[in-house]
Amino acid sequence: MKTKVLVTGGAGYIGSHVVRQLGEAGYDVVVYDNCSTGSPKAVLHGELIIGDLADTDRLYQVFAKHRFSAVLHFAASLIVPESVAHPLDYYSNNTRNTLNLLRCCHVLDVNQFIFSSTAAVYGEPEENPVTESTPTLPINPYGRSKLMSEWLIQDHSLASRMRYVTLRYFNVGGADPGGRLGQSLRNVTHLIAAACNAALKRQSEVKIFGTDFPTPDGTGIRDYIHVEDLASAHVDALRYLEAGGESQTLNCGYGKGYSVRQVIERVKAISGVDFPVIEAERRPGDPACVTACAEKISQVLGWQPQYNDLDTIVYTTLAWEMQQENLPSVTGNRQKLVLINKERP
Ligand code: UFG
């Protein structure tokens, strides 16, 4: 019989890539998602239950019916400025809902848990790359809501038979190279999305938030990871727990940083569109540099990234978006994509 797992947030960007890989790996998947930001169309395997983690009765019924062997918990709010404006929503949707889920795991004896955490728990690290033992000092409610969830998971595991893998994601981008899944970039503000939206002429320019950071070119440095590699880390984590592995908290990045200028340069080169770039003030709360020490995840899980390349992240992001918009797009190969629609208004 197939192993049955629950994936919360499995209709979202990262969750849907994981669900696809779990299906291909032979797992029986049940997705629980309120579809507030995710889409039923993105669930390519298993059963989708549209429900909210705040609805504890419903959640309990789902657990009682299915008897999961593991839970992968993605469902969360993740926009940093929104978390500053509406912190209670973030503590409800992220922290309290993780507690709801853990209670069901406890009552129904589900003892393997994989959690989506974030590099935001490190705040503004004094040293890079950050290791898993770098102090966690989040600087916004989003990061704190996730760190509190980490603590709930750790404390519950110490008091029970539950084992967990918490993955701290760095800057996730890209799309399924097979063109089945991706993230809609409309209304998304992260750097690769902003630059791709400018290349697609949906916005007039890209702003560089801060050019006076203590970095070689003065702009912020981040560790960009392809969503397919992040997804495979979850499948590896599940196999690790199934093999009896002990609880772990692991960074999930490549260990290599790119500056804002470097990312913009690659988006221009790959899209073939020379969009305007404006130098602007720093965004409040942006650290200069956050890159992962990625040794532990490879050692513990045997994780081997397949798409460790900024150009592939940019290329698959653009290719997905153009496919969604039915734009005549791709010429060239995986490394070079030229937008035929350069002159679109
Ligand atoms: N940036 C720009 N212009 C833009 C957008 C971003 O210059 O239009 C800069 C930022 O100032 C920063 C870098 O690009 O220096 C990356 O910014 P992103 O918004 O792409 O990503 P963040 O590093 O701020 O945050 C992301 C996620 C968070 C997560 C964090 C973990 O959005 O949810 O990674 O590292 F917590």
Domain boundaries defined on the chain: 4-173+225-252
DSSP string, 94-124: IIIHHHHHHHHHHHTT--EEEEEEEGGGG-S
Residues that are catalytic: 142
Tokens standing for 93?
């949707």
- Mean pLDDT, the chain, rounded, equals 93
Say yes or no: ipTM exceeds 0.90.
yes
Centre of ligand 1 from the C-alpha of residue 148, in Å: 22
- Which residue type, as a one-letter code, is found at position 32? Y
The percent of residues in the chain predicted with pLDDT above 90, rounded, is 86
Which residues are near ligand 1 (CB < 6 Å)? Answer: 78, 80, 118-120, 170-171, 190-191, 194, 206-210, 220, 222, 260, 283, 286, 290
Please give the Cα distance from 112 to 242 (Å, whole number). Answer: 8
The percent of residues in the chain predicted with pLDDT above 70, rounded, is 94
Ligand 1: residue whose CA is nearest its atom 1: 191
Confidence of residue 120 (pLDDT cuts 50, 70, 90): very high
Confidence of residue 334 (pLDDT cuts 50, 70, 90): very low
Q: Provide the CA 17 distance to its chain's centre, in angstroms.
A: 10
Residue 79 CA, closest ligand 1 atom number: 33
The closest alpha carbon to 262, from 277, 250, 282, belongs to: 277
Please give the Cα distance from 83 to 87 (Å, whole number). Answer: 5
φ and ψ at residue 127, rounded to 5 degrees: -130, 145
pLDDT of residue 7: 98
Confidence of residue 248 (pLDDT cuts 50, 70, 90): very high
Centre of ligand 1 from the C-alpha of residue 252, in Å: 16
Q: Provide the CA 183 distance to its chain's centre, in angstroms.
A: 11
Please give the Cα distance from 291 to 285 (Å, whole number). Answer: 16
Using DSSP bridges, classify how beta strands 206-209 and 277-280 pair: parallel, antiparallel or unpaired. Answer: parallel
pLDDT of residue 313: 96
Ligand 1: residue whose CA is nearest its atom 6: 191
Centre of ligand 1 from the C-alpha of residue 259, in Å: 11
Please give the Cα distance from 229 to 78 (Å, whole number). Answer: 20
Ligand 1: residue whose CA is nearest its atom 11: 209
Angle, helices 310-324 vs 260-271, to 10°: value is 50
Angle, helices 97-107 vs 56-66, to 10°: value is 40
φ and ψ at residue 125, rounded to 5 degrees: -65, 145
Q: What CATH homologous superfamily does 4-173+225-252 map to?
A: NAD(P)-binding Rossmann-like Domain (3.40.50.720)
Residue 263 CA, closest ligand 1 atom number: 14
